[in-house]
Structure 1
Amino acid sequence: MILYFSGTGNSEYTARRIGKEIDDEVTNLFDKIRNMDYSEMKSERPWVIVVPTYAWRIPRIVSDWLEKTNFSGKKEVYFVMTCGGSIGNAGHYLKKLCAEKNMNYCGCAEIVMPENYIALFSTPTEDEALQIIEQAESVIDSTALHIKNGDKLPNREISFGDKMNSGMINALFYPMFVHAKKFYATDHCISCGKCVNVCPLKNVSIENGKPKWGDNCTHCMACICTCPKEAIEYGKHSKGLPRYNCLK
C-alpha cells in the first residue's frame, strides 16, 4: 500500500506514478492527519511512504502520525521523499522509526522535484517546473522498479553536511522558522475558503472575509500555493514569485 502526504502536489504526483508502475493502492494521508485518525492500517504488500522533505527529514506531522498508528500485515517499509535539493541524512531517522515500530526499513529514495518552499526559496516558472518533473520521472520509475522487485533501495552517500542538516539544523529550524506569523492575505482575496480546506492542521480560518492563521503551522505551503487569486503572501519574500502547485 502506498501512503502519501503532499502540500503542493509533488509527493502526490510521485505516489500516483509509483502506484501505476507497481499496480498498488494509493492512499492520501491528508484526512487522517487532519482528523488525528490513528486507526490501524493493514496491507499484504510492502508499505511505501511518499512524503515531501521538510528541513532534510520527513515532515513532523507525518512522523507523528506514523508513530501513533499501528500497521499490520507486511513489515517491509519503503520511503520516497520529494525535495527541492536534498533529503540529507533522513534515512538515519527513518531507520530508527522503523526499529521502534518493529518494521523492516527497505531504504529511502530521493526524488528532486520543483521547489515549493516559497517562504524561503524561489519557486520555478511553469516551464522550469515541467523540465524538473520530466527529469524526475526516470528516477521515480527506477524507484518503482526496485519496489516492484522487492529490492532494497540503493544507499545514498551521506556527507557531514547531510548529518548536520538532518540533525542540528532540523532541530533549530522548526522552532525558529516554522510558524504562520508572516502569512497574510491581500485585497485580492475573494473569501473562497480554499486555504482553509487545504490546511492539514486546521490552522486557517476565515474571519471578516479574510483568512487568519493560528499557531499550529507545518509550512506545507498548501495555502499560499493553492490560492486561486495568489492573494496570500509570506512576508516580503513571496512577492512577485510564481506559485507552484504540481497538480494545477
Structure 2
Amino acid sequence: MILYFSGTGNSEYAAKRISSIIDDEAVSLFERLRDNDFSEINSERPWIIAAPTYAWRIPRILQSWLEKTRLSGNKNIYFVMTCGGNISNAGKYLEKLCAGKSLNYMGCMEIVMPENYIALFSTPSQEKASEIIRQAEETIDKAASIIKKGRTFPQHPLTLMDKLNSGIINDIFYPIFVHAKKFYATDACISCGICTNVCPTANIRLENGKPVWSKNCTHCMACISRCPKEAIEYGKHSIGLPRYTFPE
C-alpha cells in the first residue's frame, strides 16, 4: 500500500505514478493527519510512504503520525521523498523510525521535483517545472521497478554537510522558521475558503471573510500555492513569485 502526504501535488504524483506501475493502492493521508486519526492500517504488500522533504527529513507531522499508527501485515517499508534539492541524511532517521516500529527499512529514494517552498526559495516557471518533472519521471519509474522486484533502494555516500543538514540544521530550522506568523491575505482575497480546506492541520479559519492562521502550521505551502487569486503572501519574499502546484 502506498501512503502519501502532499501539499502541492509533487508527492501525490510520485505516489500515483508508482501505484500505476506496481498495481497497488495509493491512499492520501490528508484526512488522517487532519483528524489525528491513528487507527491501525493493514497491508499484505510492502508499505511505501511518499512525502515531501522538509529541511532534509520527512515532515514532522508525518513522522509523528507514523510513530503513533500501527502498520500491520507486511513488514517491509520504502520511502519516496520528493525534494527541490536533496534529502541529505534523511535515511538515518527513517531507519531509526522503522526499527522502533519493527518494520524492515528498505531505503529511501530521492526524487527531485519542482521547488514549492515559496517561503524561502523561488518557484520555477511552468516551462522549467515541466522539464524537472520529465526528468523526475525516470527516477520515479526506477523506484517503482525496485519495489516491484522486492529489492532495497540504493543508498549514496553521505557528506558531512548531509549529516549536518538532516541533524542539527533540521533541529534549528523548525522552531525558527516553521510557523505561520508571516502568512497574510491581501485585498485580492475573495473569501472562497479553499485555504481552510487544503490545510492538513486545520490551522486556518476565516474571520470576517479573511483567513487567519493559528500556531499549528507545518509549512506545506498548500494555502499559498492553491489560492485561486494568489491573495496569500508570506512576508515580502513571496510577492511577485509564481505559485507552484503540480500541473493537472
Correspondence for 2:243? 243
Q: TM-score, normalised by structure 1?
A: 0.99
Shift of 1:134: 0.3
Matches of 1:7 and 1:171 in 2, distance apart? 22
What amino acid does structure 1 have at the position aligned with 2:221? M
1:160 equivalent in alignment to 2:144: no
1:204 equivalent in alignment to 2:168: no
Shift of 1:183: 0.3
Matches of 1:196 and 1:158 in 2, distance apart? 39
Question: Once superposed, what is the RMSD of the aligned Cα atoms?
Answer: 0.5
Contact residue 53 and residue 87 of structure 1 kept, 8 A: yes
Q: Secondary structure at the match of 1:191?
A: coil
Correspondence for 2:3? 3
1:22 equivalent in alignment to 2:22: yes
Query: Counterparts of 1:91-170 in structure 2 under 5 Å?
Result: 91-170=91-170
Correspondence for 1:217? 217
Correspondence for 1:87? 87
Shift of 1:221: 0.1
What amino acid does structure 2 have at the position aligned with 1:159? T
Stretches of structure 2 lacking an aligned partner (at least 5 in a row): none
Q: Secondary structure at the match of 1:124?
A: coil
What amino acid does structure 2 have at the position aligned with 1:14? A
Stretches of structure 1 lacking an aligned partner (at least 5 in a row): none
Matches of 2:213 and 2:72 in 1, distance apart? 37
What amino acid does structure 1 have at the position aligned with 2:21? E
Matches of 1:156 and 1:70 in 2, distance apart? 29
Shift of 1:247: 4.0
Contact residue 8 and residue 247 of structure 1 kept, 8 A: no
Matches of 1:33 and 1:116 in 2, distance apart? 20
Q: Secondary structure at the match of 1:216?
A: coil
What amino acid does structure 1 have at the position aligned with 2:237? H
1:77 equivalent in alignment to 2:59: no
Matches of 2:124 and 2:61 in 1, distance apart? 26
Q: For structure 1, which segment, 152-161 or 27-36, has the greater mean C-alpha deviation from structure 2 after superposition?
A: 152-161
Cα offsets for 1:4-30 (capped at 9, x unmatched): 000000000000000001000000000
Correspondence for 1:226? 226
Q: Secondary structure at the match of 1:114?
A: coil
Q: TM-score, normalised by structure 2?
A: 0.99
Matches of 2:71 and 2:236 in 1, distance apart? 43
Q: Secondary structure at the match of 2:220?
A: coil
Cα offsets for 1:83-137 (capped at 9, x unmatched): 0000010000000000000000000000000000000000001111000000000
Q: Secondary structure at the match of 1:42?
A: strand
Shift of 1:156: 1.6
Matches of 1:235 and 1:71 in 2, distance apart? 40
Q: Secondary structure at the match of 2:138?
A: helix
Contact residue 55 and residue 166 of structure 1 kept, 8 A: yes
Could you tell me the percent identity over the aligned residues?
67
Cα offsets for 1:201-244 (capped at 9, x unmatched): 00000001100000110000000000000000000000000000
What amino acid does structure 1 have at the position aligned with 2:69? T
Correspondence for 1:189? 189
Matches of 1:156 and 1:198 in 2, distance apart? 35
Q: Secondary structure at the match of 1:79?
A: strand
What amino acid does structure 2 have at the position aligned with 1:69? T
Cα offsets for 1:46-103 (capped at 9, x unmatched): 0000000000000000000000001110000000000000001000000000000000
Matches of 1:185 and 1:120 in 2, distance apart? 18
Matches of 1:168 and 1:27 in 2, distance apart? 32
Aligned pair count?
248
Contact residue 13 and residue 247 of structure 1 kept, 8 A: no
